[in-house]
Amino acid sequence: MVTGPGMSLRIEPERHRSTPWAIMLFIGYWLMFAAEFSVIRFYRGEDGRWVASTMEQPPMWLSLTVLIITALSLIGAMGFVLSVWKQSRLSLWHWGDRDLTGNDVLHMVAWMHVFQTCTLILYGLILEGTLFTEGTIGGAFESASFQMFLLIVIPLWFRGRLGEIGVRRPAQLGRMLITLLILFLFIAKVLDVAITNPLSDWLGLSLSSEREQQIEKEIVQAKQTDMLAAAASFLVIGIMVPIAEEILFRGVIQTYLVRRVGAVIGIVFSSLWFALLHIDLALFVPLFVIGLGLGFVRHRYDSIWGAVLLHAVNNLTGVLYYFQ
């Protein structure tokens, strides 16, 4: 509604045109999340420990459920993208003068499910395999396509207000670096001995991780291909993945949760989501504990860059280990 001189241009209702579609995609995201966990089964390994493994052939009811969710999500994705595009033409998103809200988080999850839906259709119905061979430059970037997507969508959505999600200079830089060193030493030397191994022994759970085995396989193949493929692995795993995951979890999700429910609960819940996203029950505990450390650094020093640095060093340490 346009009013006279001195009055405002009321366009608030237009801002939420995409919200119903975002809610639909938000629900679809968590349903698909539950479906991914439902294909995990445990069996006794040769050492008597329980090994978490993904079923090669899911039951028919689950396949049909995923198909229905994917079909509905495709409809939701088209409606969502169209409504966001219309809003962008009216300059109703990525404003520089408003705070992070729950609607922002809702839309980020919706964008994640848009990507998830497109991926399911591409790899499940169109392609017979991957676009690029494992161990190549293309394969390295294809394996991190989700993170690449985040690195495009989040900066666009928060254009002009990236400081709201922690993309800013850290407070007390010197103290932050000391804290990062202590946390890295804890992750490298103490975490497995003091927490991960005792807990896995108590539960009788194997630490054999299908996700880590796949990462190791890709890194070794890249090393055997050529130096450019190896460099691509370093770039993707050591830089792109940490930035993308930190800007999402510690930047968007944790920032909102901390403001809504307080620092402790906000950091715990964002770390829980971070650990669950990896779909890796064998290494859930160390992922969760590392997430707590990353969340503490982001909150204490009012920036995501400390968390990005710690995440990157931890990932690069793993890459170097697999290269050897």
Q: How far is CA 256 from CA 103, 132, 263, 269, in A?
A: 10, 37, 10, 11
Instruction: Please spell the DSSP secondary structure of 28-63, one letter per residue.
Output: HHHHHHHHHHHTEEEEE-TTS-EEEEE-SS--HHHH
pLDDT at residue 90 in the model: 62
Q: Measuring CA to CA, which residue among 254, 280, 267, 273 is closest to residue 196?
A: 280
Strand pairing class (50-54; 40-44): antiparallel
Q: Measuring CA to CA, which residue among 244, 96, 84 is closest to residue 253?
A: 244
pLDDT at residue 91 in the model: 57
Nearest 5°: the CA angle 226, 227, 233 is 100
Spans in the chain with pLDDT lower than 50:
1-14, 94-97
Report whether 220 contacts 142 (CB < 8 A): no
pLDDT at residue 191 in the model: 96
For residue 304, how many other CB atoms are within 10 A of its CB?
29
- For 55: left if phi > 0, alpha if psi spans -120 to 50, otherwise beta; the answer is beta
Q: Measuring CA to CA, which residue among 317, 291, 307, 132 is closest to residue 234?
A: 317
Residue 205, SS3 per DSSP = strand
pLDDT at residue 106 in the model: 95
Q: How far apart are CA 58 and CA 232, in angstroms?
A: 33
Instruction: Please indicate, yes or no, whether the overall pTM of this predicted structure exceeds 0.75.
Output: yes
Please name every residue paired with 41 in a beta bridge, in sequence order, or none if there are none. 53
Read off the pLDDT of residues 279-303 as tens digits, 9 standing for 90 and up: 999 999 999 999 999 999 999 999 9
